[in-house]
Amino acid sequence: MGGTPNIFDGRILVVAFEGWNDAGDAASSAARTLKDSLELEAIAELDGEYYFDYQFNRPQATTGDDGSRSIVWPTVTFFAPDSARLAVGDPNLDIHVLLGTEPSRSWKSFADDVLEIMQDREITAIVTLGSMLADVPHSRPISVFTSSENAAFRAELGLERSTYEGPVGILSVIADAAEREGIPTVSVWASVPHYVHATPSPKATLALISRLEELVGVDIPRGSLIDEAAAWEAGINQLASEDDDMANYIEQLERARDTVDSPEASGDAIAEEFEKYLRRHEGGKSDPRS
């Protein structure tokens, strides 16, 4: 795993859940892309009878290619490299994935079950993926916020500590339980435009994948995601062109985002301008080179 930060040396678990933590299906899609690209196999499944309210997370009826009918139940699955790849020293053997539907009850017991599997697999660090609806424009790069409660991770990776207070999802519960057991956790969240909340957001999925690559040092093929993200953005542009109110609102979001991202607003730019000011006014004399 060349290029991986030293602090991530060890066995990493990437976690994502469908539901409250997964605006635009971005987080679960990113984890699923990672799982598929590494060809991970299911090694454990948490018992849905204990953790799901089936009136809230209903099972789905499906029809197979042969016309047979079956019921697909909501579940959470732990994926790992297969034993053959472990035996030959596959460089991706340190990546595991926990993926499924957010449980609707017994979260403390659920977190304990997850921790037990993690300890069996000797997981040494966790990356949780989430996506949230926000006042952001679809036409600009997707904002991704990375944080950690672990001081060593924050120092080495240059991360912030989240100051959020309020309702949390299962990601926060698992992260808290892991930190208490000495397993450090990094949280990665993408912002999804709230005005397109009803559709998957491949652009946000791409943003999470890019950040995940930076953190864990593994290449993740994009497949059709790049084309899907371009089509997603073009489709929203088309909708906005037919709706003046939507177009005006997006323009407001773009102006706000561009102001925040402008070079004039960056700390380095401000510091540089201040240095120029000091040079010009040092000793009451103007510096002709400035």
Q: Is the domain of 30 the same as that of 106?
A: yes
Q: Is the domain of 102 the same as that of 208?
A: yes
**Residue written as tokens 């949230």?**
132
* Phi, psi at 106, each rounded to 5°: 55, 50
CB 138 within 8 A of CB 234: no
Nearest to 102 by CA among 15, 187, 198, 195: 15
Determine, yes or no, domain membership for 261: yes
Rounded to an integer, what distance in angstroms lies between the CA atom of residue 81 and that of residue 121?
Answer: 11
For the chain, percent of residues with pLDDT exceeding 90: 66
The mean pLDDT of the chain is 86
Side-chain-side CA neighbours of residue 38 (13 Å): 30
Q: Length of the chain in residues, anyone?
A: 290
251: left (phi over 0), alpha (psi -120 to 50) or beta: alpha
Mean pLDDT to the nearest integer, 195-201: 91
Q: Is the domain of 219 the same as that of 251?
A: no
CB 127 within 8 A of CB 12: yes
Confidence tier at 290 by pLDDT (50, 70, 90): very low
CATH number at residue 45: 3.40.50.10900
Determine, yes or no, domain membership for 67: yes
Mean pLDDT to the nearest integer, 177-191: 95
Q: Is the domain of 106 the same as that of 142?
A: yes
Determine, yes or no, domain membership for 27: yes
**pLDDT of 266 strictly over 90:** no
Side-chain-side CA neighbours of residue 148 (13 Å): 21
SS3 199: coil
Quote the domain boundaries for residue 253: 244-284
Q: Is the domain of 165 the same as that of 261?
A: no
Task: Go through 169-197 and write b for each residue having 16 or more CB atoms within 10 A of its CB, e for each that does not.
Answer: bbbbbbbebbeeeebbbbbbbbbbbebbe
Q: Is the domain of 163 the same as that of 277?
A: no
Q: Is the domain of 218 the same as that of 123?
A: yes
229's tokens? 């993200």
Specify the pLDDT at position 288.
Answer: 35
Side-chain-side CA neighbours of residue 226 (13 Å): 5
If one counts the domains in the chain, the total is 2
Q: Is the domain of 129 the same as that of 39?
A: yes
Nearest to 52 by CA among 98, 107, 112: 107
Determine, yes or no, domain membership for 164: yes
Q: Is the domain of 155 the same as that of 279?
A: no
Determine, yes or no, domain membership for 239: no
Q: Is the domain of 217 the same as that of 262?
A: no
SS3 223: coil
Q: Is the domain of 122 the same as that of 258?
A: no
- Residue ranges of alpha helices (H) inside 95-201 are 107-120, 151-157, 170-180
CB 96 within 8 A of CB 15: no
**pLDDT of 261 strictly over 60:** yes
CB-based contacts of 47, cutoff 8 Å, min separation 6? none
Specify the pLDDT at position 1.
Answer: 43
- How do residues 5-60 score in pLDDT, each as one tens digit? 556 778 999 999 999 999 999 999 999 999 999 999 999 999 888 999 988 889 99
Q: Is the domain of 155 the same as that of 98?
A: yes
